[in-house]
Every structure is written in C-alpha cells, then in structure tokens.
Amino acid sequence: MLTPEEVERYARHIVMREVGGPGQGKLKAARVLVIGAGGLGAPLILYLAAAGVGTIGIVDDDQVALSNLQRQVIFGTEDVGALKAERAAQAIAKLNPHAKIEVHNERLNAGNAMPLIESYDIVADGSDNFATRYLVADGCYLAKKPLVTAALGVFDGSLTTIRAHEKRADGTPNPTYRCLFPEPPPPGTVPACSEAGILGALPGILGSMMALEVIREIVGFGEGLVGRLLMIDARSMRFETLGYEWDSANPLSGDNATITDLSGIY
C-alpha cells in the first residue's frame, strides 16, 4: 500500500495508464542491485530512488576522486575521498526517504556475486570493465535474474537487457551476454576512461536510460531490450538498435554448456 505522502510524491506516475497505482506498488516492492556508483550508476541510482524503487543495493568499493565529479553527479566536492556507496546512500536519503538503501562496500567477485545477486529481483550493471560485466551476466543467468547492462566509450555507449534464463514464445532461449559478446577484447586493446577520456554528459544519458529500462522491466510495459542492443553515437546524436539471437554454442546456456558455476572461471 502507498501512503498518502507516497501518492502525492509519485502522482505523475500514478496518473499514467501504463504505471498507475499497481505499477507504483510494484516499484515499491522491488529490490534492485546496482553494480557501480560511477558515471552510469550515479544517474541510475538517483532516478531509481526518485521513481520509488523500494530497495536499492549499491555495490562499489571505490572512493570519490576529484576527477569523478565531471560526470558522477550524485557526488559533490565535499565527498572527495569518501566511499562512493556510502555517499550515494546519503544522497538518496535526501532525495527520497522512502527508499531503503543497502550499501555493499566491496568489489564484486566470484565469492560474493551469487549471494548478492540472489538477494535482489533485478540487477543493473554500470561497471567499467569487461571482467565484471561477464561475471555479473553469468551470475544473473545462474541465479535466474534479469539484467540491464550498459557500457561506455569516449563518445559512444550501448545498452541491453538480458533475460537469458527465460525462453521466447516459440521455445527458443533468450540470448545471453556471451551470445552478444562471445569473448572479451584482449587486455590493453580498450583504453580506460582515465586514458581515453569521456564526454561528461554521456553517462548521464545512458545511466538515465538504464533506469528507464529497469523501471519498464519492473512495471511491465513497452517493448524491452531483450535481444536488442541499443547503441548511441554522441558525435552524431545517432541512436541505432541491433538485434541479436541465442547462440547454441555459447558456454552458458548452449547445447553443450560448460559454465555451471562461477568458481572455475573467475
């Protein structure tokens, strides 16, 4: 049930036919795990909290650096040196006291990934490295949890939703992250943000779109991004969508799957 204060707070959602009171109730009951409180995580966390998501878990062991403030808008200058997850939780408390925040000041690894993922309804991955993205995607498949995942380049970004534990109406499995990206690029071929730079407003766009996709997955309206990769080119302001399918040779859900847990590969 929504309190009178919550009804007023979420009034612009409640009057929408696609959301309404039932949809807002789903948001309140939802538990979302956010991986990373950086460029993507900052707007993602803020918009999830503002939308009324009841419980938000934040996984990040990093500290706020001065160079983060060019794009990580959930922090201020006074936060430099503090733990990101802690300060993100404080920002949410100011924005929406109805949102419960669960802080995980730790780096995701093969030992803690499954217990964390299994404790939430949906996962949103805003991490900045391929190793974590594969770990999260594999963990979500094994835990049967939906995943919204995004990645950033200097002027580009991509976003998709993975529900690899489910099947389509025709019985074909939904694609995994490994169906889209069978192998990570060789080490050193993709420069880090600190080396290549990044346009500050781009994470805001993509992080907000992650929040929109998470909200749509929870409430259940519109056409989601399962089997579709949304790509953004900020130089030309071009948005394109690429379809992708289940690969029967993928090692996670393929015909001869070899990945049954996380311990042997991470």
Q: At 154, which CATH number?
A: 3.40.50.720
**Looking at residues 40-57, what average pLDDT do you find?**
98
Q: Tell whether 265 is covered by a domain.
A: no
Q: For the chain, what is the domain count?
A: 1
Q: Tell whether 10 is covered by a domain.
A: yes
* pLDDT attached to residue 10: 98
Question: Is residue 265 within 8 Å of residue 151, measured between CB atoms?
Answer: no
pLDDT tens digits for range 134-193: 999 999 999 999 999 999 999 999 999 999 999 999 999 999 999 999 988 777 666 677
* pLDDT attached to residue 184: 83
With H, G, I as helix, E, B as strand and everything else as coil, classify residue 159. strand
Residues of the chain above pLDDT 70, percent: 97
Confidence of residue 264 (pLDDT cuts 50, 70, 90): low
Q: Tell whether 250 is covered by a domain.
A: no
Using alpha carbons, select from 58, 65, 56 the residue that is nearest to residue 37: 58
Q: Tell whether 256 is covered by a domain.
A: no
Confidence of residue 34 (pLDDT cuts 50, 70, 90): very high
Domain span holding position 236: 4-243
Q: Tell whether 261 is covered by a domain.
A: no
Q: Which residue in the block uniquely carries the two structure tokens 């009324």?
A: 52
Round to whole Å and give the CA distance between 108 and 203.
21
* pLDDT attached to residue 187: 73
pLDDT reading at 241 higher than 70: yes
* pLDDT attached to residue 236: 96
pLDDT tens digits for range 204-237: 999 999 999 999 999 999 999 999 999 999 999 9
Length of the chain (residues): 266
Q: Tell whether 124 is covered by a domain.
A: yes
Question: Is residue 239 within 8 Å of residue 231, measured between CB atoms?
Answer: yes
Q: Tell whether 257 is covered by a domain.
A: no
Q: Tell whether 27 is covered by a domain.
A: yes
* pLDDT attached to residue 39: 95
pLDDT tens digits for range 96-105: 999 999 999 9
